[in-house]
Structure 1
Amino acid sequence: MSELDALPAHYRLILCDVWGCIHDGIRLLPGVVERLTRWKAEGRTVFLVTNAPRTEATIARELEWLGLPRSAYDRIDSSGEAGIDALTSLGRPTGFLGTEDDRAELERAGLAFVEDSDATDIACIGFDDHRASIADYAADLDRWAARGVTLHCLNPDRVAMVGEIAVPCAGAIADAYEERGGRVTWYGKPHPAIYQHVLATAGSPPLDSVVAIGDGLLTDMLGAARHGIAAVFVTGGIQRGAGIPADFAQAHGLGDWRPLFTVSSLA
């Protein structure tokens, strides 16, 4: 029996992470459909909140392909959607860093891009199709920092697990840019914008009725703690079975914060 079976009834809004909790980048994880369906049957609202730099429609199609029925959740909120909204509001084209597929998706969402030599802002989706290490981007990052370019990071994750393989994400590039003195605007967990958006969409419920579920220490857990939201930590994702470090709360100025409980998976 999982502690999730006894999740207190007053938690009416569930903010569930996707990668590492619902799937591993290749397949749906065991027990996910049953767990989400059970929460829905209990009358709870289930929002999937992800740092994926893609649109809600694309993420929904990917989840359906993996076998997650649309009836198992109410809504998807992504850092990609938050970033698209913000970049659209700039009212001008930006530079771009990511794969050609990423670029095509954002162009379909209405964004326009220019060569980075003409850009005051760069949309950072992740690593491109040809360069696999941070060192490969050093010249670009140095040049952008010298010009005062703002890097818009649409995926704060530093790494994601695709099956058993660790794949670096946009957050690692953004970290390297900040180390050079570059200015980064972050979208997604643990940053405020995505929580403000999610809670507003949900009708601004009392925070004590909301619980976040995730496997990321610096995204899911840190974001929930900073925003006064209860959290359940899933150890079977990016942590690969490891628990929360004993000094995590102290290191991040969280006082005596701790998760409601820790589980290995949603099953």
Structure 2
Amino acid sequence: MDNSTGLRDLAPRYDAVLSDVWGVVHNGIVAHPSAVEALVEYRRGGGRVVLITNAPRPSPLIVDMLDELDVPREAYDAIVSSGDATRDMLEKFSGKSVHYVGPPHDNDALFEGLDITLGPAETASAVVVTDLDTDDDTPSMYTDRITVWLQRNLPLIAANPDRVVEHGDRLIYCGGALADLYEARGGMIRMAGKPYKPIYAEALRLAEKAAGKPLDKSRILAIGDSVRTDATGAAGFGIDLLFITGSIHAAELDAFGNPDPAAIEALVAPSGATMAGYMSRLAW
């Protein structure tokens, strides 16, 4: 593993990059200029970039968000989201009712065009979780609601498998944290997005389409900030990882101070990922 000074050092080894978005390209409020520059320069050198995100919204809305954050479309070839994968899962509930957990109306597009109604847990066929209802919520606040879901033996579909995400200078809980609690109490969970293979297979398809040729996995690099999703996903799909330390793991790794390479390796090791390097922020 190298502590690479920039993506330029790794670029010759890889034909395509599958990059996380939230925590790598932006922090939910502003884009990281060095990360945007790195992806743009990598593409200018002939590399292909597919953004792979656990955002629980269809990918066209991710494009809109990146536009609003002034992330140029020159920075990526394609996007695949957990929202895309979730819509595939929801097809089997056509004609039925599901119970939605998440910010009101924030994820209306997730259900748009599907023959699904949103209703109370007492009459639903499944629970669909994008995030917690508000950014200030904690999973423990859902104990009573989970009891109802368990009594009805409802599957929980986590449209966002992330446990936490960087939002400006704070960390907020995501759908994956609620799924963990539900599973710990004996509930059945179904995950869309990272670290599961279907979203990586679709990302590879999009990368090969952009490249106009088949790509060898040994020449594909995952970039991400989460051990649970990005590192585990890269390991499961058989591709190398560039680990971004300055996001959700920044405090424990002293990412912007004096990070200990051994501590970084120890944190990532349980995932089984092969690290090509690490950086506090993605940079060229």
Pairwise same-fold verdict (TM > 0.5): yes
Confirm whether residue 221 of structure 1 aligns to residue 231 of structure 2: yes
How does 1:193-204 map onto structure 2 within 5 Å? Answer: 193-203=198-208
Once the two structures are aligned, what percentage of the paired residues are identical? 35
Partner of 1:237: 247
Secondary structure, aligned partner of 1:173: helix
Confirm whether residue 106 of structure 1 aligns to residue 110 of structure 2: yes
Partner of 1:147: 152
Q: Deviations over 1:87-144 (max 9, x none)?
A: 0243233221111123423233535323221112111111114971222211111121
Amino acid of the structure 2 residue aligned with 1:38: E
Partner of 1:246: 266
Question: How far apart, CA to CA, are the structure 2 residues paired with 1:220 and 1:177?
Answer: 22
Question: How far apart, CA to CA, are the structure 2 residues paired with 1:39 and 1:19?
Answer: 19
Query: CA 1:8 to 1:28, structure 2 compared with 1: closer, same or farther past 3 Å?
Result: closer
Query: CA 1:104 to 1:247, structure 2 compared with 1: closer, same or farther past 3 Å?
Result: closer
In the TM superposition, what is the alpha-carbon distance from 1:247 to its structure 2 partner? 6.0
User: What is the Cα-based RMSD across aligned positions, in Å?
Assistant: 2.0
Pick one of 26, 46, 50 that aligns with 1:47: 50
Partner of 1:206: 216
After TM superposition, the score normalised by the length of structure 2 is 0.86
Amino acid of the structure 1 residue aligned with 2:133: D
Partner of 2:186: 181
How does 1:120-135 map onto structure 2 within 5 Å? Answer: 120-129=125-134, 132-135=137-140
After TM superposition, the score normalised by the length of structure 1 is 0.91
Amino acid of the structure 2 residue aligned with 1:222: T
Query: CA 1:109 to 1:65, structure 2 compared with 1: closer, same or farther past 3 Å?
Result: farther
> Which gives a bigger RCO, structure 1 or 2 (Cα 8 Å, sep 6+)?
2
Query: CA 1:207 to 1:7, structure 2 compared with 1: closer, same or farther past 3 Å?
Result: same
In the TM superposition, what is the alpha-carbon distance from 1:248 to its structure 2 partner? 4.1
Question: How far apart, CA to CA, are the structure 1 residues paired with 2:123 and 2:195?
Answer: 31
Question: How far apart, CA to CA, are the structure 1 residues paired with 2:19 and 2:150?
Answer: 35
How does 1:162-181 map onto structure 2 within 5 Å? Answer: 162-181=167-186
Q: Deviations over 1:132-170 (max 9, x none)?
A: 122221111112112211000011111111111111110
Pick one of 9, 14, 17 that aligns with 1:14: 17
Partner of 2:197: 192
Contact 1:95 1:119 in 2 (8 A): yes
Contact 2:231 2:268 in 1 (8 A): no
5+ residue gaps in structure 2? Answer: 209-213
Question: How far apart, CA to CA, are the structure 2 residues paired with 1:205 and 1:150?
Answer: 36
Partner of 1:5: 8
Q: Which has the larger displacement, 8-17 or 199-208? A: 199-208
Query: CA 1:235 to 1:130, structure 2 compared with 1: closer, same or farther past 3 Å?
Result: closer
Amino acid of the structure 1 residue aligned with 2:244: V
How does 1:55-66 map onto structure 2 within 5 Å? Answer: 55-66=58-69
Contact 1:102 1:125 in 2 (8 A): no
Question: How far apart, CA to CA, are the structure 2 residues paired with 1:193 and 1:177?
Answer: 23
Query: CA 1:216 to 1:54, structure 2 compared with 1: closer, same or farther past 3 Å?
Result: same
5+ residue gaps in structure 1? Answer: none
Find runs of 4+ consecutive structure 1 residues off by over 4 angstroms: none
Question: How far apart, CA to CA, are the structure 2 residues paired with 1:3 and 1:104?
Answer: 39
Amino acid of the structure 2 residue aligned with 1:205: L
Q: Deviations over 1:1-20 (max 9, x none)?
A: 82411114241110011111
Partner of 1:68: 71
